[in-house]
Amino acid sequence: MTIGQTPADRPRTARTRAENILADRARILLSCPDRPGVVAAVSQFLYSLDANIVQMDQYSTDPDRGRLFMRVEFDLPGLSDRRHRLQEEFARVAEPLAMNWEIRYARERKRIAVFVSKMDHCLRELLWQWEAGDLQGDPVAVISNHPDLGEIAAAFGLPFYHVPVSRETKREAEERQLAILREHRVDLVVLARYMQILSPGFVQAYPNRIINIHHSFLPAFVGANPYERAYDRGVKLIGATAHYVTADLDEGPIIEQDVQRVNHRDSIEDLKRIGRHIERVVLARAVAWHLEDRILTYKNKTVVFV
């Protein structure tokens, strides 16, 4: 670390290095009816622009459903001056193939708001990874219904917003939270053990841009107190699930899951302690994959290219 650098300066240094590397890099995400020639059409298009394909992934569903998903990461010299032409010309390739598509630019780092309550392990993991330069995005605000974690946000140079939530004030609280998100031009909301249920209106404002960590291996033990219910059932595996948030509680498209073996000797507190490690790792993976544009959603599922 350079002498005199603050904690907030360290992520900026890593970010600058990443921006220089990724200045000419873009990603095409697409899905379309599966048919011969789709991969060739995309490859030929990029070749015609003198682009270099860095990574190409594709997945085709079963023949009855017949849908193709692709992620293509490429470097294009002078990308910043060619973006408009790139979009226009790819649209002509996509239309006859009935593609749903987006082009995303690696240099445009996504802006993240982290929602928390009282538990700090998921927040700390995300901020540690950001500080190390391992996230292709930047936390810009921490929002909480409790004041407990304000010092952690301050230590990383991030604004902290305490927005109390009760049954009576939930609507006003969410309006305040949404105003904060707009103020900070937030691209992604991460619920890092935020112990409140978001309203359908809130979720609708950020479709497939709210990631939650549920302290259970969904679809088991949906809702509150999953460790207590897992203990009561005598489970031998506990886990955590990162998923996109929808209006249906804990029913959104699953991004990542992991488990760890436990046994009859483990108390509820042991399960929670083990679970905290799983939660923070699973959430960090899901956030990183979203920031790197590795996730495509279709119906209530995800295709994750890792």
Q: Kindly report, residue by residue over 42-78, the tens digit of the pLDDT.
A: 999 999 999 999 999 999 986 666 899 999 999 999 9
Residues with catalytic function: 250
Question: What confidence tier does 292 reach under pLDDT thresholds 50, 70, 90?
Answer: very high
Is the pLDDT assigned to residue 3 strictly greater than 60?
A: no
Q: Are 279 and 122 in contact (CB under 8 A)?
A: yes
First to last CA, the chain: 31
Residues of the chain with CATH 3.30.70.260: 24-105
Is the pLDDT assigned to residue 220 strictly greater than 90?
A: no
Question: What confidence tier does 166 reach under pLDDT thresholds 50, 70, 90?
Answer: very high
Rounded distance, CA 236 to CA 250, Å?
22
pLDDT at 11: 64
Question: What confidence tier does 223 reach under pLDDT thresholds 50, 70, 90?
Answer: confident
Rounded distance, CA 16 to CA 145, Å?
33
Q: How many residues does the chain have?
A: 306
Nearest by Cα to 142 from 130, 154, 128? 154
Rounded distance, CA 50 to CA 131, Å?
35
Is the pLDDT assigned to residue 121 strictly greater than 80?
A: yes
pLDDT at 13: 63
Question: What confidence tier does 295 reach under pLDDT thresholds 50, 70, 90?
Answer: very high
Q: Tokens 């009282």 sit at which residue?
A: 118
Question: What confidence tier does 20 reach under pLDDT thresholds 50, 70, 90?
Answer: low
pLDDT at 16: 63
Residue 42 in tokens: 């995309």
Is the pLDDT assigned to residue 2 strictly greater than 50?
A: no
Residues of the chain with CATH 3.40.50.170: 110-304
Average pLDDT across the chain, whole number: 92
Nearest by Cα to 303 from 71, 136, 104, 54? 71
Give the residue with greater pLDDT, 271 vs 142: 142
Q: How many CA atoms lie within 13 A of 196 on its CB side?
A: 25
Residue 147 in tokens: 């004041």
104 burial level (CB within 10 Å; 0-12, 13-18, 19+): middle
Q: Is 234 left (phi over 0), alpha (psi -120 to 50) or beta?
A: left
When pLDDT is averaged across residues 111-128 and rounded to a whole number, the result is 98
Task: Give residue-wise pLDDT tens across range 123-148.
Answer: 999 999 999 999 999 999 999 999 99
Give the residue with greater pLDDT, 10 vs 50: 50
At residue 143, what are phi and psi to the nearest 5 degrees? Answer: -120, 135
pLDDT at 222: 73
When pLDDT is averaged across residues 164-172 and rounded to a whole number, the result is 95
Q: Which CATH number fits domain 110-304: 3.40.640.10, 3.40.50.170, 3.40.50.300, 3.40.50.150?
A: 3.40.50.170
Is the pLDDT assigned to residue 1 strictly greater than 60?
A: no
Q: Does domain 24-105 have CATH number 3.30.70.260?
A: yes
Nearest by Cα to 298 from 129, 110, 68? 68
